[in-house]
Structure 1
Amino acid sequence: MSDSSTAKSNEGGSKTRQLLGMKGATSGETSLWKLRLQLMKPITWIPLIWGVVCGAASSGGYTWTVENVLKIAACMLLSGPLMAGYTQTLNDFYDREIDAINEPYRPIPSGAISIPQVVTQILVLLGAGLALGYGLDVWAGHEFPMMFSLTLGGAFIAYIYSAPPLKLKQNGWLGNYALGSSYIALPWWAGHALFGQLNWTIVILTLFYSLAGLGIAVVNDFKSVEGDRQLGLKSLPVMFGIDTAAWICVIMIDVFQAGIAGYLIYVNQNLYAAILLLLVIPQITFQDMYFLRDPLKNDVKYQASAQPFLVLGMLVAGLALGNAGV
């Protein structure tokens, strides 16, 4: 491949990463809609959309009808583009100082989009999310507005995670658990409530599962460790050091998935439990191959390799719970 072809390929890859909101982008984008999409970080929508699927599976009430397909698609739109987009835009708004250190190519620190335009985007996404949540309650015939309440609760968690005075992300444990539960428990509850009756067993199990999500959230802290140190943010890599934080991360990811498998055995879902445990094995392999050897260099490679097995395990757990009638 010629140098010019390589350069074009690298430029195209950088622009794709930029549009998806990934690490390793470049500045210079001028299209407003692309900048708005970059703020919403589409790459982060996937686990929330998947969480809705897992919740629908655990409800035991999802059937393949046209109406149910439209309902779950609307719930995916709520959890992914609208509420994850709101959360990511809000986070970028309050993180503009630290992004100027860690990711200066981001739309706000680079000056590519104005603060009033960002605030408008936050309000529009929040308003659309709340409206859709209420609409789903009406569609599902809920006596209590569960979908609206979950949307409002998720919006509140996103706010206190990013905004002062609480700014939960300043605390490595609280912030990462808030993030993990928002990516696993909240969309799971939404999918379950849309097609079944949300109960305390599902709530507690998914909050337990979210402790594995805490480990995944910690992986994202390694890319910003230098800026976190400068601004006094107590992420786990800052508090414990790179190597210790990496071990905390992988232990939480593995142990709490195994704990869910243990519960599946308890409710006589042995086959599903065995599949879930088998899906943990490649995650451990990639942790050893990539993440534990160099978490600063290999964080993205590890996530791309290992997370498909984690999210597939979530669906296995959801199907098991639905099958058990939990």
Structure 2
Amino acid sequence: MSDSPTPEQSTPEQTQEVPAPGAKARQMLGMKGAASGETSIWKIRLQLMKPITWIPLIWGVVCGAASSGSYVWSLECLLQAAACMLLAGPLMTGYTQTLNDFYDRDLDAINEPYRPIPSGAISVPQVVVQVVVLLVAGVVLAYVLDLWAGNEVPTITFTAIGGAFVAYIYSAPPLKLKKNGWLGNYALGASYIALPWWTGHAMFGEMNLTIAVLTLIYSFAGLGIAVVNDFKSVQGDTQLGLKSLPVMFGVGTAAWLSALMIDTFQAGIAGYLIYARENFYAVLLVLLIVPQIAFQDMYFLRDPLKNDVKYQASAQPFLVLGMLVTGLALGHAGI
């Protein structure tokens, strides 16, 4: 995209007066291609929390509940599941996204200047208060969930605290894991797959080493998905010295690495299901991997910069359905 504005967009004032269709909704959800100009402080706070990013975490809780093998359709279980989703989504993911925006305000000024902090819609002290409130509320709710589940070891609380720490070192210096394409994207993948999965499993069952290891392996597929998100930030990452995979290896090679990570580790999980004699679920998982490969060839590998959003919209539903299939298989096998 050219850096020079078109005649219709020659001034910021003109851009704000005629925002693109749906730009306000995209801003509210935390999506690419949004618009600034919101004045309600509560809507601005919601923008920081990026509700669109809650969905994978909420789904991870569902997969964890399935893998426990102990979820039943009762009012109490529904309330417990809803509370876990509140923890994983609005609270802990909201905390993570707000914290990330705080430490990424210079990067966002380049890549996404319409975001609340670089646009000046909210002050830095207000952002800090939001980070603290979401973190405290998340840890308190996690402890309540452990009590509700009767966990002798407060697994959900430890998961929430561990996730909060990973979110901090992902975004904040001096470690700032997101500077490293491998470590940062794996931290992101594990946060979106393993951590909510552990929460759902610990709520309805007993966490064990096998579930922990399998979900951490599955998180390498999440690493591949996280790389897809890096393509929209290549320009800013390059300027600020962030070593994302597209910056380190180039756009074409990074796209292939992303696709291989997504496909290989899902196939590995399918292989484990065969080992566990859950052949039916293994076949279902393989059948869900095939369309992902097809969409990678159709969209992503041909032009990742242009088709990243289209690819995610087409392929990710199959990936998340595969996660649920895996959870059901593990629950059925009593693992």
Q: How does the TM-score come out when normalised to structure 2?
A: 0.94
Corresponding residue number in structure 1 for 2:150: 141
Give the counterpart of 1:92 among 87, 96, 101.
101
- Provide the C-alpha distance between the structure 1 equivalents of 2:334 and 2:152, rounded to a whole number of angstroms: 22
Q: Please say if 1:124 is aligned against 2:133.
A: yes
8 Å CA contact 2:60–2:193 kept in 1: the answer is: yes
d(CA) in 2 for partners of 1:49 and 1:75? 8
Equivalent position of 2:298 in the other structure: 289
The Cα of 1:26 is off from its aligned counterpart by 1.1
Query: Of 257, 273, 288, which residue of structure 1 is paired with 2:266?
Result: 257
Amino acid at match of 1:322: G
Task: Name 1:46's counterpart in structure 2.
Answer: 55
Q: Distance in 1 between matches of 2:263 and 2:235?
A: 27
Moved more, 180-189 or 144-153: 144-153
Aligned counterpart for 2:325 among listed residues 316, 319, 326: 316
Corresponding residue of 2:215: 206
Please state if 1:82 is matched with 2:80.
no
Which residue does the alignment assign to 2:162? 153
Distance 1:34 1:301 in 2: 27
C-alpha separation between the residues in 1 aligned to 2:307 and 2:123?
Answer: 33
* Equivalent in 186, 198, 203 of residue 177 of structure 1: 186
Q: Distance in 2 between matches of 1:282 and 1:16?
A: 29
Q: Does structure 1 conserve the Cα–Cα contact (< 8 Å) formed by 2:19 and 2:35? A: no
For residues 12 and 233 of structure 1, the distance between their equivalents in structure 2, rounded to whole angstroms, comes to: 32
One-letter amino acid matched to 1:274: V
Give the letter for the 1:241 counterpart: G
State the one-letter code of the partner of 2:30: G
Structure-2 residue corresponding to 1:217: 226
**Could you list the runs of 5+ residues in structure 1 that have no partner in the other structure?**
1-7
State the alpha-carbon separation in 1 of the partners of residues 31 and 69 from structure 2: 35
| CA displacement, residues 143-181 of structure 1 (integer Å, 9 cap, x when unaligned) | 121111111000000000000010000000000000000
Question: Deviations 1:73-106 (Å, cap 9, x if unpaired)?
Answer: 0000000000000000000000000000000000
For residues 103-139 of structure 1, the C-alpha deviation after alignment (integer angstroms, 9 at most, x for no partner) is: 0000000101000110011011001100100100111
Q: Distance in 2 between matches of 1:209 and 1:299?
A: 21
User: Contact 2:227–2:245 (CA<8 Å) still a contact in 1?
Assistant: yes
For residues 42 and 237 of structure 1, the distance between their equivalents in structure 2, rounded to whole angstroms, comes to 26
Among 172, 185, 204, the alignment partner of 1:163 is 172
How many angstroms apart in 2 are the aligned matches of 1:205 and 1:37?
33
Alignment correspondent of 1:35: 44
Matched, 1:247 2:256: yes
Structure 2 distance, partners of 1:313, 1:134, is: 30
Residues in 1 aligned to 2:125 and 2:49: alpha-carbon distance in whole angstroms: 16
Alignment deviations for residues 2-27 of structure 1 (CA, whole Å, 9 cap, x no partner): xxxxxx99745111111000000011
Measure how far apart 1:30 and its partner are: 1.2
User: How far did residue 225 of structure 1 move?
Assistant: 0.4
Aligned CA RMSD, in angstroms, stands at 1.1
The range that moved more, 284-293 or 182-191, is 284-293
SS in 2 for 1:30: coil
Q: Please give the alpha-carbon distance, in whole angstroms, between the structure 1 residues aligned to 2:153 and 2:67.
A: 20
Q: Which residue number in structure 2 is paired with residue 232 of structure 1?
A: 241
| Sequence identity percentage | 76
**Structure 1 SS opposite 2:151:** coil
